Amino acid sequence: MEGHLDAGLPKWLAGKPVAFIQQFVVMATVSPWESRLIPTDAFRAPLSKVFSIVDDVNNLQVKISGKTRSISDFCLHIPEVLPKFKAKGLLPEYNCLLLSPANFWKGDATVFKEDGQIIKTIHSFQSPTIETAPTIKDLLFGVPSKATGVHRFFLRNKQRLIMYT
């Protein structure tokens, strides 16, 4: 099969793989949900875990053939962000392409903790129009917006399932 295309297979399946995407799916909730909690608590605790996950990924080291390797030895390095995205400051530049909700706060857990409007921060990068194409939120959360559990407006103070990759 290698070297030629089979009419029944997609083009990207021909030949040896040149890359792969690794995703860790996180589904979290605040439990038990208590009436004294405020609505943003349903988002803050589950999203706060992303910073330790990103740290673990960045600090991962493995020994291969006697050499210690880190994520930067294997990741896709981004030389420069397109000008259209540079102003938003959400995508990595001159570094590994590592996308997560932590990018909304430039990977800084302290900035996240001090953000009193995390939902507003997440949605401030979205166009006010209804978009059918994936948004920056879809990209950084790694799942479609509807699946994240993080919505611009929430009417009730209740437990929520938050999902991101």
For residue 6, pLDDT over 60 is answered with no
pTM of the model: 0.74
Distance CA 140, CA 100 (A): 5
On average, the pLDDT of the chain sits at 80
Q: Report, as an integer, the average pLDDT of 68-75.
A: 87
* Separation of first and last alpha carbons in the chain: 33
For residue 121, pLDDT over 70 is answered with yes
Residue 70 DSSP SS3: strand
For residue 126, pLDDT over 80 is answered with no
* Per-residue pLDDT, 52: 94
Type of residue at 58: N
* Per-residue pLDDT, 41: 81
Dmax over CA atoms of the chain, in Å, equals 63
Distance CA 139, CA 123 (A): 13
What is residue 69's DSSP assignment? E
* Per-residue pLDDT, 133: 65
